[in-house]
């Protein structure tokens, strides 16, 4: 299919999706989950081709693991779709209906975005996830996955579209761009005539390319250079536990802690204990001069370290002499993702919440909670690091827009 | 000033604006309004230069009128700033603070967008308006006005910045790009490193250029091909009044009615009366075959008419044989701005509200109400016709984002 045909088909399916009843959407999602498991063999065979090519071209173990599908992973994808089917449908809710002096009743009705484009890398589970979230919110979705997962994606999409057809729902509620060439991807980003929103999911390079080239409104999901600031009045044992959790519970994720900021007055008590605990977890430390006085095994941090998202067993340690210096340092080097203060000082807690510019700001908790499931959304399409439309973990609501509905009885403007 | 310097200055002012107390912002706005009136002579002298150039290059009477400033227009700008100072400040409000099972308290705090860019044409009143709305919401604003108003804009910005300085607020809360060349404008649209949101205000060409070239997230404000559908069960006298209001109360605006859609069963009673009334207002009619049977003076409509935003004393008339046909016609030709149904049928009213895809959908009221003031926002920065972030009239809230604030007591993720 040519891109223009994909766009046209998406727009044709869109009005049907927009007004589909919740019960029907839920039924289709459950049925799609069943069929996905029933089609596991076909999907696994397709995935085996992708894995073979991946190994041939020398993909890293980490990437191969993300690409790999077996029965239990397909069951997990199906389970995710069932969970989405059980979430409340946000579409159709009317918010804030108010009466104007002239008698007009004005409210905001939640509606789908329309056609959502998603560009992602070689993670076939995103294919089912993204479909489920978009379908539940009445959106048509056009997927552009990585070339390394094309066989897996094609098989998964075939299974999902089969269910749509069986359930007499427009198959074009889900469209896959099978041509994964660079030119087609570039062209896709210019399809603002057909696509309402584009969500890139993947590494910094992919996201930058989309932001710089798309004429479609983009929801930017981004990297996380997350800090934990240990204030003068912090409960230091709590601080150590939170830092260990945020740094080591899972290192390759965007909400992991990459840098520790320490008030100079707690160095003596905090840093030796922290060094011990980080060493146990094999975390490499890169610290400034003042921190290294109490962390003899830490290497010297360079300017580059302060801005780095390691996604690895490495952490930087910066000393400050006031909360203002901590805030200025964090606002300068962070990626506006997730930031935490550990403190028992009320004024400092509120100040940090007010002055730090990030999607999520914590007092006395691990940055690892920045996640749609942990926030109680039941699902997540990504974590937005931009300020427009959605910021932070994005659940179903991030896939909706509003329209104003106005009830009158003959009002004209004077 | 070079663009990079403007961007750097904006980002330096931004953290100060972000946490400025409401009382201070209000005081500055009132003082700025006073000073603007006090500086009226200087501003009028600058405006005279723009007017002279405009006349020399043969600007239309309409554009010259939009460009023109006198004492009373400057007073109206000042009055607008005072009104904004009296609106509630949305910044700092925390919404939906909820407790998670692990004890984390998670809420959404309203924060400024950061740095807002506005690209507009030769309307100097936008300069003061945009500053007031952005300043009230703690945003730094970078303005890029049209070259035809450069002297007026420079004088207005000088007056406003003088107030900022006097009140010891960063002057760079308001920055004007004085180089109005095409190259600089193109470069400005790529400044996503410095600017959080770009709002174009002006004609279709300007908006298209911004959407196609900006790497900054854009809020698209657009054109309005607005329809009024007269259903079979409509109160026909109400229908005529609403159509006349929506078509003729002000013709050059985006929420004016451009097309009337009529159920065939009301043609006989509606159209002769409507023709009479439209003629009184000198409105040219372009109708399809079935409508012309009852509107002998209407010209024949062409395919082109259905998609046209006339912004003039012209209207098209389309006949349909069902509400489904009306909805399909409107969804095909509209610009997703404002659409109305006149009906007494409950099911049709709800169906129209559900199925029409537009920023604002009306039952039994004039489309002319699509306006920030009419919606009770007290101010307006534009009308969004996109689905991301803001849709419909945009008041102060459209100039805000949120950040999550999370209160914990030592929670770590398991």
Q: Using CB atoms, which residue from B98, B238, B404 is nearest to A392?
A: B404
Rounded to 5°, the CA angle A197-A200-A204 comes to 145
Say which residues have a Cβ less than 8 Å from residue B389's Cβ, sequence separation at least 6: A388, A389, B217, B219, B398
Average pLDDT, chain B: 96
pLDDT of residue B378: 87
Compute the distance between CA of residue B98 and CA of residue B108 in angstroms, rounded to an integer.
10
Average pLDDT, chain A: 96
Q: Do A342 and A401 share a structural domain? A: no
Place of tokens 């790529």: B190
Residue A376 φ/ψ, nearest 5 degrees: 90, 20
pLDDT of residue A318: 98
- Categorise residue B403: left if φ over 0, alpha if ψ from -120 to 50, beta otherwise: beta
Nearest to A221 by CA among A118, A368, A81: A118
Please check whether residue B42 lies inside any domain of the structure: yes
Banded model confidence at residue B281, pLDDT cuts 50, 70, 90: very high
Please check whether residue A378 lies inside any domain of the structure: no
Q: Which of B190, B403, B414 to mutate to test the interface with A (most CBs of A within 10 A)?
A: B403
Q: Do B403 and A212 touch (CB under 8 A)?
A: no
Say which residues have a Cβ less than 8 Å from residue B50's Cβ, sequence separation at least 6: B67, B122, B124, B148, B149, B150, B151, B152
Q: How far is CA B247 from CA B250, B278, B314, B342, B367, in A?
A: 7, 9, 8, 15, 9
Q: Do A214 and A326 share a structural domain? A: no
Residue A262 φ/ψ, nearest 5 degrees: -125, 130
Rounded to 5°, the CA angle A93-A143-A8 comes to 80
Q: State which residues of chain A have pLDDT below 50.
A: none
Q: Do B214 and B86 share a structural domain? A: yes
Tell the burial category of A72 from Cβ atoms under 10 Å away from its Cβ (0-12, 13-18, 19+): exposed
Please check whether residue B289 lies inside any domain of the structure: yes
Rounded to 5°, the CA angle A59-A60-A62 comes to 125
**pLDDT, mean of residues B176-190:** 94
Q: Do A234 and A198 share a structural domain? A: no
Domain harbouring B153, CATH code: 3.40.605.10
User: And the tokens for B115?
Assistant: 């740095």
Antiparallel, parallel or unpaired: β B140-144 and B174-176? parallel
Tell the burial category of B213 from Cβ atoms under 10 Å away from its Cβ (0-12, 13-18, 19+): middle
Domain that holds residue B286: 226-369
Task: Say what the ipTM of the complex is.
Answer: 0.93
Q: Do A366 and B413 touch (CB under 8 A)?
A: yes
Tell the burial category of A68 from Cβ atoms under 10 Å away from its Cβ (0-12, 13-18, 19+): middle
Compute the distance between CA of residue A295 and CA of residue A107 in angstroms, rounded to an integer.
59
Contact B273, B236 (CB under 8 A): yes
Please check whether residue A50 lies inside any domain of the structure: yes
**pLDDT, mean of residues B232-241:** 98
Is any Cβ of chain A less than 8 angstroms from the Cβ of B113? yes
User: How many domains is chain B partitioned into structurally?
Assistant: 2
Does residue B379 surpass a pLDDT of 90? no
Task: Give the number of other CB atoms < 10 A from CB of residue A187.
Answer: 15
Q: How far is CA B99 from CA A364, A395, B107, in A?
A: 15, 17, 9
Contact A161, A28 (CB under 8 A): no
Q: How far is CA A308 from the centre of its chain?
A: 20
User: And the tokens for A235?
Assistant: 């409960």
Is any Cβ of chain B less than 8 angstroms from the Cβ of A299? no
B359 by DSSP, 3-state: which?
coil
Please check whether residue A105 lies inside any domain of the structure: yes
Say which residues have a Cβ less than 8 Å from residue B408's Cβ, sequence separation at least 6: A362, A363, A364, A365, B103, B104, B105
Q: Do B43 and B164 share a structural domain? A: yes
pLDDT of residue A413: 96
| Per-residue 3-state assignment (H helix, E strand, C coil) for A56-70 | HCCCCHHHHHHHCCC
Task: Give the number of other CB atoms < 10 A from CB of residue B27.
Answer: 14
**pLDDT, mean of residues B8-20:** 96
> What single-letter DSSP state applies at residue A218?
B
Compute the distance between CA of residue A393 and CA of residue A377 in angstroms, rounded to an integer.
9
| Per-residue 3-state assignment (H helix, E strand, C coil) for B106-120 | EEEEEEECCEEEEEE
pLDDT of residue B204: 84
pLDDT of residue B314: 97
Partners of residue A387 in chain B, C-beta under 8 Å: 111, 113-114, 196-197, 217, 401
Does residue B412 surpass a pLDDT of 90? yes
Is any Cβ of chain B less than 8 angstroms from the Cβ of A369? yes
Residue B339, beta-bridge partner list = B227, B361
Partners of residue A374 in chain B, C-beta under 8 Å: 100, 413
Place of tokens 């554009």: B63
Nearest to A389 by CA among A200, A136, A219: A219
User: And the tokens for A300?
Assistant: 């010297």
Residue A114 φ/ψ, nearest 5 degrees: 125, -100
pLDDT of residue B310: 94
pLDDT of residue B252: 87
Contact A363, A343 (CB under 8 A): yes
Å between B283 CA and nearest CA of chain A = 18
pLDDT of residue B222: 79
Please check whether residue A384 lies inside any domain of the structure: no
Q: Do A110 and A248 share a structural domain? A: no
% residues pLDDT > 70 (chain B): 100
Is any Cβ of chain A less than 8 angstroms from the Cβ of B290? no
Q: Do A180 and A144 share a structural domain? A: yes
Does residue B170 surpass a pLDDT of 90? yes
Q: Do A194 and A230 share a structural domain? A: no
Please check whether residue B376 lies inside any domain of the structure: no
Banded model confidence at residue B1, pLDDT cuts 50, 70, 90: confident
Q: Do B188 and B80 share a structural domain? A: yes
Partners of residue A217 in chain B, C-beta under 8 Å: 217-218, 220, 386-388
Q: Do B18 and A362 touch (CB under 8 A)?
A: no
Does residue B330 surpass a pLDDT of 90? yes
Nearest to A177 by CA among A204, A198, A162: A198
> What single-letter DSSP state applies at residue B406?
E
Place of tokens 């169906």: B351
Q: Any idea which of B34-48, B216-230, B345-359 has the lowest mean pLDDT? A: B216-230
Does residue B88 surpass a pLDDT of 90? yes
Q: Do B294 and B196 share a structural domain? A: no
Q: How far is CA A181 from CA A116, A146, A178, A184, A382, in A?
A: 20, 9, 9, 5, 24
Is any Cβ of chain B less than 8 angstroms from the Cβ of A139? no
Q: Do B396 and B359 share a structural domain? A: no
Q: Which of A368, A411, A414 to mutate to test the interface with B (most CBs of B within 10 A)?
A: A411
Q: Where are the alpha helices (DSSP H) in A307-408?
A: 323-333, 346-355
Compute the distance between CA of residue B24 and CA of residue B68 in angstroms, rounded to an integer.
32
Task: Give the number of other CB atoms < 10 A from CB of residue B59.
Answer: 18
Compute the distance between CA of residue A196 and CA of residue B326 in angstroms, rounded to an integer.
24
Å between A122 CA and nearest CA of chain B = 26
The total number of residues shown for chain B amounts to 414
Q: Do B21 and B141 share a structural domain? A: yes
Please check whether residue A381 lies inside any domain of the structure: no
Residue B157 φ/ψ, nearest 5 degrees: -65, -40
Domain harbouring B288, CATH code: 3.40.309.10
A positions 10-39 inside 8 Å of B (CB): 15, 18-19
Q: What is the pLDDT of residues B18-58, one digit of tens each?
A: 999 999 999 999 999 999 999 999 999 999 999 999 999 99
Partners of residue B352 in chain A, C-beta under 8 Å: none
Å between B98 CA and nearest CA of chain A = 9
């Amino acid at each position: 299919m040519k891109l223009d045909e994909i766009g046209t088909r998406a727009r044709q399916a869109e009005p049907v999706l927009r007004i589909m009843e919740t019960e029907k959407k839920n039924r289709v999602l459950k049925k799609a989950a069943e069929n996905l498991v029933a089609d596991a063999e076909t999907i696994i065979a397709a995935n085996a081709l992708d894995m073979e090519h991946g190994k041939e071209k020398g993909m890293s173990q980490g990437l191969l693991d993300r690409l790999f599908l077996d029965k239990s992973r397909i069951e997990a994808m199906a389970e995710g779709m069932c969970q989405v089917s059980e979430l409340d449908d946000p579409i159709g809710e009317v918010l804030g209906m108010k009466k104007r002096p002239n008698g007009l009743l004005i409210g905001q009705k939640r509606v789908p975005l329309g056609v959502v484009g998603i560009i992602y890398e070689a993670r076939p589970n995103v294919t089912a996830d993204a479909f489920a979230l978009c379908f539940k919110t009445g959106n048509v979705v056009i997927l552009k996955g990585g070339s390394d997962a094309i066989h897996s994606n094609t098989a998964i999409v075939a299974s999902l579209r089969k269910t749509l057809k069986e359930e007499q729902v427009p198959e074009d509620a889900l469209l896959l761009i099978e041509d994964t060439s660079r030119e087609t991807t570039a062209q896709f980003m210019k399809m603002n005539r057909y696509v309402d929103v584009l969500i890139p999911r993947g590494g910094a390079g992919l996201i930058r390319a989309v932001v710089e080239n798309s004429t479609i409104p983009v929801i930017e999901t981004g990297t996380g250079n997350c800090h934990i600031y240990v204030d003068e009045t912090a409960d230091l044992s709590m601080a150590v536990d939170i830092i260990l959790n945020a740094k080591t519970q899972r290192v390759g994720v965007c909400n992991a802690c990459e840098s520790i900021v320490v008030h100079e007055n707690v160095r003596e008590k905090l840093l030796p204990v922290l060094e011990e605990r980080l060493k146990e977890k094999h975390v490499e430390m890169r610290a400034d001069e003042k921190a290294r006085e109490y962390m003899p095994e830490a290497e010297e941090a360079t300017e580059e370290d302060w801005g780095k998202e390691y996604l690895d067993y490495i952490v930087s340690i910066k000393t400050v002499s006031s909360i203002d210096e901590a805030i200025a340092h964090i606002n300068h080097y962070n990626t506006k993702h997730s930031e935490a203060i550990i403190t028992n000082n009320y004024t400092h807690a509120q100040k940090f919440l007010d002055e730090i510019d990030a999607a999520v700001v914590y007092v006395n908790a691990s940055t690892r909670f920045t996640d749609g499931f942990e926030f109680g959304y039941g699902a997540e399409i990504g974590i937005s690091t931009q300020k427009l439309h959605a910021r932070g973990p994005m659940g179903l609501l991030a896939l909706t827009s509003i329209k104003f509905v106005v009830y009158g009885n003959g009002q004209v403007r004077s």
